[in-house]
Amino acid sequence: MCLTISNQWLSLRQEFRAYARFYRPLVRWRDSFVIGAFPQVTTDLGGVIDELNARFSLDLRRNDDTNEERQACFDAMDGFWRSRVGGGEALERVVGRPSPWRDGRCAQMAPLLDDPSLAHVRRQAHELFHELAVGRVSV
């Protein structure tokens, strides 16, 4: 629902289709990248770096992953987006960090996902997610 929240003009059907259009071409490359779920990337980026190192025999430096580092990153994101869209709800719609406001919007919109008219696109998105991520993403 991220696209629907940041781009209010998109319907949930359009968002499901956009998800599939973006991720389907990646299926053939799924062994060439790692997937970090939003909660993991925003709280344990070091774990994602460890996974990259293990999977591709790399030696990337693990970040310290402290609360201070995370907050500095989130502040930088806020500054970037605030200079483009302003503050308040406009900022919360687009900034790529955890957001209680966005969590609330997702909770309000969640019942809409059960609309029977979305069953086909919802199933396609779910199958695509599983094809890309199941067994490969920590949540």
State residue 139's pLDDT score. 45
Say yes or no to pLDDT of 91 above 50: yes
Residues in the chain: 139
Say yes or no to pLDDT of 135 above 70: no
Q: Which amino acid is at 83?
A: S
Q: For 42-47, what is the mean pLDDT? A: 90
The whole-angstrom separation of Cα 137 and Cα 97 is: 19
The pLDDT mean for the chain works out to: 90
Q: Which amino acid is at 41?
A: V
The whole-angstrom separation of Cα 84 and Cα 21 is: 27
Q: For 39-53, what is the mean pLDDT? A: 91
- Tokens 């991720």, located at residue: 23
Q: Where are the alpha helices (DSSP H) in 64-99?
A: 67-85, 88-94
Say yes or no to pLDDT of 33 above 60: yes
Q: For 36-61, what is the mean pLDDT? A: 92
Say yes or no to pLDDT of 111 above 60: yes
